[in-house]
Amino acid sequence: MRLVYVFDAYCGWSHGFSRTLLEITERHPDIPVEVVSGGLFTGAGRVPISRFGYIQGANAKISTLTGAEFGEGYERLIADGAFVMDSEAAARGMAALRQTAPGRAAELAAALQNAFYIDGHSLSEPDTYRRVAEAAGLDADAVAADVEAPATRAAAEADFRRAAQLGVDAYPTLLAARRAGQDRHRAPGCRPLDRRSPARGGRPVRRRPRGLGARAAHPPLGAAPGQRGVRRRGAARRRSLPRQRADPGEDLGRGRRTPRDRRTGAADPLSPQAP
């Protein structure tokens, strides 16, 4: 089995999930984790942060449910209101860090979000990635230079395509990939603006939960009895949980149910080599 973690560095729910992601990697170092950047704020979605009036309320909920911290540097950005979140720039920075230390992608993704949500550093500035790289013991000059490299831009665009190919439309989403299919866990997270309700001020549309009620912080794989985790195929279900259908396209989180892959004879969409 391997994990595919699709997140956006500018998503507060992804920040809240970081602690759980790190627990998973620490307890299961033998399970490879692929980190894919999503495109939450791209194109017309790149607007001043003051346009998102629900952010402070969402952050309070994230803190309550996950224990995530939001620092003074970040709060100053919120108070000023002029800062523009650009997911394409953040994806480039994540790609530069990831290619420098592929085996530490999950750790670096969490550090990148701390740089924004705690320290208030812009993820559009190469110096931010220099700081993250230095703190991680990486070649800071190489990472900062790679942020603007054409190959890194291509890697960011490839991440966006891969997230779409996987059917991910909300962040964070954690996929557990096996030969027989995939399980999907999603925190009650972030959606692009074009998938939000204009009548609700751009806030995410809430839909009736399907399947397992994923919490904002999920226990690690192999969790102790009484905790929720990614269910292994063939494992006994807890009686308190609703019955799941064996559908690799079933959304096990609170978000919207993602479309099933109806293609036949297609390559495994979770394979990095898939088109």
Of residues 1, 2, 7, the one with CA closest to residue 186? 7
DSSP string covering 39-55:
-SS-GGG--BGGG-TTH
Q: pLDDT > 70: what percent of the chain?
A: 65
For the segment 148-168, the average pLDDT, to the nearest whole number, is 96
Task: Using the predicted structure, report yes or no on whether residue 146 has a pLDDT greater than 70.
Answer: yes
pLDDT tier for residue 177 given thresholds of 50, 70 and 90 = confident
Domains in the chain, please, with CATH?
Answer: 1-275 (3.40.30.10)
pLDDT tier for residue 66 given thresholds of 50, 70 and 90 = very high
pLDDT tens, residue by residue, 232-274: 433 333 333 333 333 333 333 333 333 344 333 444 445 554 4
Q: Which ranges constitute the DSSP H helices of 28-121?
A: 55-66, 72-80, 87-100, 105-117
pLDDT tier for residue 180 given thresholds of 50, 70 and 90 = low
Between residues 266 and 187, the one the model is more confident about: 187
d(CA 253, CA 85): 26
Lowest mean pLDDT among 87-96, 122-131, 173-182: 173-182
Lowest mean pLDDT among 20-29, 41-50, 144-153, 235-244: 235-244
Q: pLDDT at position 42, please?
A: 95
Residue entry with tokens 């989180």: 253
d(CA 29, CA 2): 11
Residue entry with tokens 């279900």: 237
Q: pLDDT at position 28, please?
A: 95
Q: pLDDT at position 217, please?
A: 37
pLDDT tier for residue 184 given thresholds of 50, 70 and 90 = low
Q: pLDDT at position 178, please?
A: 77
Task: Using the predicted structure, report yes or no on whether residue 10 has a pLDDT greater than 80.
Answer: yes
Lowest mean pLDDT among 2-11, 34-43, 181-190: 181-190
Residue 5 has a CB neighbour count (10 Å cut-off) of: 22
For the segment 202-230, the average pLDDT, to the nearest whole number, is 38
Q: pLDDT at position 134, please?
A: 97
Computed over every residue of the chain, the mean pLDDT equals 77
